[in-house]
Amino acid sequence: MADGMGSSELYARTRREESTTLRAAAGNAVRFSLYVAAIVLIWVQGPQLLAAWVPDVPLSTWRQLVLLPMAPLAVGALETGVDMVIDARQWLRARSIRRRVDRDPEQIAMLVPPLETHMATVQKIRSHGATAFRRLLWVAVPVALFVGVLVDEVWVEEPDGTRRPAPELEPVILVSVSLLAAILLVSVMLRWQRWSASRTVEKWSNDPAYSARISRIGPDPAGSPAAAIPPLTVKFRTPPRSQGNLRQVSERANVVGAAPVQIAYLRLFDNRSRAREFLRGAWREFGYVHLLRSAASVSPQEVRKIRRDNAFRKMFVASPRMLREELAGQPVAPLPPGRQRLMGVTDLAVKVHDPAGSYPVRSILCHASFWQTAVDMLLSRVDYVVLDLAGYVPANAGTRFELQRVIDRFPIAGVVFICDDQCDRAFLTAQILHHWSRMDSRSPNSGTTPRTAPIAVTDGHRTTTRHVMADLQVRGG
């Protein structure tokens, strides 16, 4: 069986995929029908009702004005219709696979579900640019339609040949255009600024001229394969939401009274929603969380400051010395209990509530030519590693590198893998076992003693992550 997965489990996954996509297609069909019904109702009944309410405005004018609320409904109907078609295609593929297996059960070992559920997380993540375009679409279409209606229908021609809006509609026109323009500017400009800043930082990070000025250290080269690779058991578990005894954190003691620890958090850069969930959890109550910043986390204000101060060469960590200085200069004092805003960690400020206080997050912005070396250095300086595999696919080369590096450089007893409830458990199990089989000979995990790799299915709930961290400390000693 592929990846050690039984035939019955694979068949059950295929059936679940068939049922899930059918329900999704049916739900989108219902929503699409509601959109269409709303559009038809507004077009057929709306003008008559408005004409009866404001008889001074001709019915023909109201027929044009009702197009304004129909624009966002049309956009929603279009999006829902596309989703319905995609879900229907996935259902047809799943149905085809299931029917082939029913005819020839031996084919089940060679088949995989038509749509891996671990892709769902990545597909739901929208970048700054996509979000700005989406908001522009929802606002600009009604604005353009409204202006067109004014030009063609609402304006009247005077005897001298001049054109002006109908007097009774001038206040409505002024307020409506001003409001729509304000919504457009506010909703799009903020996201566009974030998108522009992230693109600028990404361009700087990949600048070959910058790379040429720094030493090409690179990560430690991979060695020979391990002679003895112990058996590994991958276990999924959903932590309970039980509240334990808490104490306020301090520089000497964390939430459970032990010395604060150093935690490395590795994840997909594109999975910013999961990074925010991680930061809302209880990890920061146990110690200092180290993570690498993405270009999307750099704010427009930071970019302007870098340009103003000509601090281009100092914005990226690009050498071991700079990394050591960056870590040494990070704050040590714990944050007080209460609500906090964590800045410069993900694409947006993360609002958290720490009832027992927490430790500052140590986020590091590395140059593209140095980040792999930074991962190696962090692994040699932390007590525990949390590797978030939510949304992971083999095409994520960065996370694939980190997964192999963790296995090659860090004791598995001090590692916890986490994912969300949408993850494909069979896929993640196969990926961890694959990289485990490629273990480096210098790995602290080599030998003959059987090992266990826990995968915690977590969300941002504080008590679940507190339970995971407490278990990790017990396992790691």
Mind listing the pLDDT tens digit of every residue in the chain (477 residues)?
334 444 566 577 677 778 888 888 899 899 889 888 888 887 777 777 777 777 777 777 777 666 666 767 777 788 888 888 888 887 887 788 778 777 776 655 444 444 444 444 444 444 555 555 665 666 666 666 665 655 555 555 666 666 665 565 556 666 666 766 676 666 666 666 666 777 777 777 766 665 555 555 666 666 778 889 999 999 998 877 665 667 899 999 998 888 999 999 999 877 778 888 889 888 999 999 999 988 777 877 778 887 787 777 778 888 899 999 999 999 999 999 999 989 888 777 888 989 899 999 999 988 888 899 999 999 999 999 999 998 887 778 889 999 999 999 999 999 999 988 777 787 788 888 889 988 999 999 999 999 999 999 887 667 777 778 877 777 665
Q: How far apart are CA 56 and CA 38, in angstroms?
A: 26
Backbone φ and ψ of 156, nearest 5°:
-120, 155
The beta strand positions in 317-361, using DSSP E, are: 338-342, 350-354
DSSP state of 11: H
Through-space distance between the first and last CA atoms of the chain, rounded to whole angstroms: 36
DSSP state of 260: P
Q: Which two tokens stand for residue 138?
A: 């929802």
**What pLDDT score was predicted for residue 285?**
92
Q: Which two tokens stand for residue 12?
A: 């059950």
Per DSSP, the three-state class of 390 is coil
Q: How far apart are CA 125 and CA 117, in angstroms?
A: 14
**What pLDDT score was predicted for residue 444?**
94
CATH fold of the domain at 232-476 = Rossmann fold (3.40.50)
Cβ-based neighbour number of residue 114 at 10 Å: 19
Amino acid sitting at position 439 = M
**What pLDDT score was predicted for residue 48?**
76
From residue 404, alpha-carbon distances to 234, 374, 395, 438 in Å are 15, 15, 14, 8
Percent of residues in the chain assigned helix, strand, coil, to nearest 5: 55, 15, 30
Q: How far apart are CA 323 and CA 449, in angstroms?
A: 35
- Report pTM: 0.65
Tokens 């990790």 found at: 472
Q: Which two tokens stand for residue 41?
A: 């109702």
* Contact (CB, 8 A) for 11 and 94: no
Cβ-based neighbour number of residue 94 at 10 Å: 23
Domains of the chain, by residue range, sit at 2-208, 232-476
**What pLDDT score was predicted for residue 287?**
94
